[in-house]
Structure 1
């Protein structure tokens, strides 16, 4: 690369507007949820399995809604919980998670709401909005 190309490409990066950086959901590990809740974060748990069609449909809706409104990812901690690994865990038992394709929003020791096996954009948005409201009205 010659110097002119290097300078022009560097200048172009300064002129382009910064795109918002969105964090990928965290992958659940024991203690993660408790740690994030103790830190005052609003947590959105997605109990899913890679082979689950309902889970994939929910994920498409979640990604669509997050791409339309950056406030979700700026204010809510999204955690993917692998059903095959943690579906029978103490955490899942304590939260009374009945099956994969369950979405749960939490703040502190409060459950904000949950959805089980529902792929409706309207219902998922309602749960995400409730979580956002809890996160921003602290």
Structure 2
């Protein structure tokens, strides 16, 4: 069973603590990012809002890069933080996230890279490559 099939099945069965979206992102709930980092995982964090046009463009680029190469899913855990719910929460303020449409790559206690409101495929690919 491949990872996406497992994640979709586990989410449907209610096994995963956080819901997994169709795009393979874990929906943020407090503690999800830190738990993954504590397990030694690299985490790609997408701070977005459903109504945000820039966020939608970023999502299309990220989805396309992930579909083109399984190396990203093998190397990173993808977490989506809903800006409307968590924009003023510790998950945003502790990392000084200025706005929705911010993308981060984290490993251990380090931020490996960040993009704020950027939609360039080459820039997003370069950020994702930092997580490999």
TM-score (structure 1 length as normaliser)? 0.80
Q: Name the SS of the counterpart of 1:66 in structure 2.
A: helix
Structure ranking higher in helix proportion: 1
Structure 1 residue 55 corresponds to structure 2 residue 58: no
What root-mean-square deviation, in Å, do the aligned CA atoms of Structure 1 and Structure 2 show? 1.2
TM-score (structure 2 length as normaliser)? 0.83
By how many angstroms is 1:21 displaced?
A: 4.4
CA deviation profile, 1:68-105 (whole Å, cap 9, x unmatched): 11010111000000000001001210100000000000
Q: Name the SS of the counterpart of 2:47 in structure 1.
A: strand
Structure 1 match to 2:86: 86
Q: Which runs of 5+ in 2 are unaligned?
A: 8-23
Structure 2 match to 1:9: none
- Take 1:94 and 1:63, find their aligned partners in 2: how far apart are those partners? 27
Counterparts of 1:19-34 in structure 2, within 5 Å, are 20-22=2-4, 23=7, 24-34=24-34
- Take 1:54 and 1:129, find their aligned partners in 2: how far apart are those partners? 21
By how many angstroms is 1:39 displaced?
A: 0.4
Counterparts of 1:1-138 in structure 2, within 5 Å, are 20-22=2-4, 23=7, 24-132=24-132
Structure exhibiting the larger radius of gyration computed from Cα positions: 1
Q: Name the SS of the counterpart of 2:124 in structure 1.
A: helix
Give the ranges of 4+ consecutive aligned residues of structure 1 lying more than 6 Å apart after TM superposition.
none
CA deviation profile, 1:39-79 (whole Å, cap 9, x unmatched): 00000000000000000000000000000110101110000
